[in-house]
Amino acid sequence: MIPYLLRRLWQLVPTLAGAVLVTFLLFNAVGGSPASAVLGQHASAQALAEFDAAGGYDLPLFFGRWTGTRALPRIVFSRATASEKAAWGLAAEEDALVLSPGEMRKLPLAFALPEGETWRLRVCGKGLRDGTACQVFSSGEPAEIEAGPDGARVTGVRLERKTRGWWDSQLVRFAGDLIRGDWGTSTSLARPVTEIIAQGLLPTLTLTVPVLLLELVLSLAFALVAAWKPGGVADKVLVTVSVALMSVNYIVWIVVAQYFFSYRLGLFPIWGYEGVRNLVLPVLVGAVTGVGSSVRFYRTVLLEERHKDYVRTALAKGLAPRRVLLVHILKNALSPVIVNVALSIPYLFTGSLLLENFFGIPGLGYLALNAIHSSDIAVLRATVLMSAFLFAAANLLGDIALAAVDPRVKFS
């Protein structure tokens, strides 16, 4: 068992590494500028640069010795907008920066370059002084473009800052922070993300664990009743009800339950997290919405086991059908039941997102939706990573439980 467990844990390493990489790409590369998302499109270039420096977003994505700066974004004049050309004193129809012989053009920096760093100015064009296209200077030196004796035609400019090393990048810093347990700082709450996650974990567990257990008990009970006499009245009624439960949207169940049981009848609170009564209704809604698909799945598994040879042998020996169903068939059907439960655990997080926000439960789902509304990248990224880690852990626990209850499954 121990070697199998260690082997499965080792196999999780590339899976978790892939989840970290995909999450990093979604939030750092594909999702646009985190600084613009938090501070807004009208924030100053210096404010955006300070936000990038605080979060490490001013580093190269994967690796590199040089990185760009918001003080002077990279520009290719032939593809630049009218406003970008205007910053360089060009008309909208011009596609290059033309300099007179010996002319020196200062860079239109949005703010002063920080002291104590090394910068590189990459200039593409013809006729530059000494024929160079790359100038390296300290932040205290003047940054300017100088034409040669015959004038110059500049087609593109890029100002870059030197990093501390080749691997001084956003990905390496992100992975290192995760290994140290640092999930960042919430921009909306100004608190470490780990504290926020820890605060929301208990409300989520008090909601999702009862939902999982109640759904499992109800589903197995109804599936056993349906499989007791296939084609009977109870079987047909349960199958019809299961299909109906599967056909109704999750939000409809929440709204209907709140209207009748909270608003009309006043049996349960409609909002808050103050006691057990606040959890009863969301737990019932969460369990009922998942019963439909689970009953149909477990019923199919039980009926498949019912037609096997060992069942006919047990019945031929005179064992009561009820005992055969509850002891023999149910025991041999545990494998697919465990797999189904393991696969449903990560999706409880998605369901809790809706339940927590409709019922005012301050759990992880509630925090995730608030992070979306406030563009809190750190919290949202942490919840996505937690979902990925939860899915991997659920699969691992499912495999271990499956191997423990089914002797046909080898620890290999």
Is residue 35 a part of any domain in this protein?
no
Is residue 177 a part of any domain in this protein?
no
Q: Are residues 141 and 206 in the same domain?
A: no
**In terms of pLDDT, which residue wins out, 107 or 404?**
107
Q: Of 145, 149, 125, 147, whose CA–CA distance to 137 is shortest?
A: 145
C-alpha–C-alpha distance, residues 306 and 302, integer Å: 6
Query: Residue 389, CB half-sphere, CA atoms under 13 Å: how many?
Result: 8
Is residue 340 a part of any domain in this protein?
yes
pLDDT of residue 130: 57
Q: Are residues 126 and 240 in the same domain?
A: no
Q: Of 392, 393, 20, 381, whose CA–CA distance to 196 is shortest?
A: 381
Q: How far is CA 385 from the centre of its chain?
A: 5
pLDDT of residue 182: 86
Q: Are residues 345 and 248 in the same domain?
A: yes
C-alpha–C-alpha distance, residues 25 and 23, integer Å: 5
Q: What does 327-392 look like in DSSP terms, one character per residue?
A: IIIHHHTHHHHHHHHHHHHHHHHHHHHHHHHHHT--SHHHHHHHHHHTT-HHHHHHHHHHHHHHHH
Q: Beta 97-99 vs 152-162: how paired, if at all?
A: antiparallel
Q: Are residues 365 and 243 in the same domain?
A: yes
- DSSP 8-state class, residue 192: B
Q: Are residues 210 and 297 in the same domain?
A: yes
Mean pLDDT of 224-231: 81
Query: Are 357 and 254 spatial neighbours (Cβ–Cβ below 8 Å)?
Result: no
C-alpha–C-alpha distance, residues 259 and 21, integer Å: 43
C-alpha–C-alpha distance, residues 168 and 164, integer Å: 6
Mean pLDDT of 387-402: 81
pLDDT of residue 137: 63
pLDDT of residue 332: 78
Q: How many domains does the chain have?
A: 2
C-alpha–C-alpha distance, residues 369 and 109, integer Å: 38
**How confident is residue 228, by pLDDT bands cut at 50, 70 and 90?**
confident
Q: Structure tokens of 259?
A: 């209207």
pLDDT of residue 135: 63
Weakest mean pLDDT among 91-95, 159-163, 323-327: 323-327
pLDDT in tens, 314-367: 878 878 777 877 777 877 778 888 888 887 777 777 667 888 888 888 888 888
Q: Are residues 127 and 210 in the same domain?
A: no
Amino acid at 142: P
Q: Are residues 155 and 244 in the same domain?
A: no
Tell me whether residue 1 is exposed, middle or buried, using C-beta atoms within 10 angstroms of its C-beta: 0 to 12, 13 to 18, 19 or more: exposed
pLDDT of residue 224: 84
- pLDDT(273) > 70: yes
Buried b (16+ CB within 10 A) or exposed e, 219-231: bbebbbbbbbeee
C-alpha–C-alpha distance, residues 264 and 270, integer Å: 11
**How confident is residue 133, by pLDDT bands cut at 50, 70 and 90?**
low
Is residue 80 a part of any domain in this protein?
yes
- pLDDT(412) > 60: no
Q: Of 293, 313, 148, whose CA–CA distance to 222 is shortest?
A: 293
Segments forming the whole domain that contains residue 139: 66-162
pLDDT of residue 131: 54
What percentage of the chain reaches a pLDDT higher than 90? 1
Q: Are residues 147 and 222 in the same domain?
A: no
Q: Are residues 133 and 201 in the same domain?
A: no
- pLDDT(67) > 70: yes
C-alpha–C-alpha distance, residues 93 and 152, integer Å: 18
pLDDT in tens, 33-45: 788 877 877 888 8
Q: Are residues 147 and 282 in the same domain?
A: no
Find the CATH number of the domain harbouring 261.
Answer: 1.10.3720.10
Is residue 76 a part of any domain in this protein?
yes
pLDDT in tens, 282-291: 999 888 888 8
Q: Of 293, 298, 285, whose CA–CA distance to 220 is shortest?
A: 298
pLDDT in tens, 190-203: 888 888 888 888 88
**In terms of pLDDT, which residue wins out, 132 or 323?**
323
Contacts of 23 (CB under 8 A, 6+ apart): 381, 384, 385, 388
- pLDDT(140) > 70: no
Q: What does 116-171 look like in DSSP terms, one character per residue?
A: T-EEEEEEEEESBGGG-SEEEEETTS--EEEB-TT-EEEEEEEEEEE-SSTT-SHH
Mean pLDDT of 60-72: 89
Query: Are 65 and 84 spatial neighbours (Cβ–Cβ below 8 Å)?
Result: no
Query: Are 383 and 19 spatial neighbours (Cβ–Cβ below 8 Å)?
Result: no
Single pTM value for the model: 0.76
Q: Are residues 369 and 274 in the same domain?
A: yes
Q: Are residues 115 and 203 in the same domain?
A: no
pLDDT of residue 409: 62
Q: Which of 118, 139, 162 corresponds to the end of one domain? A: 162
Tell me the average pLDDT of the chain: 83
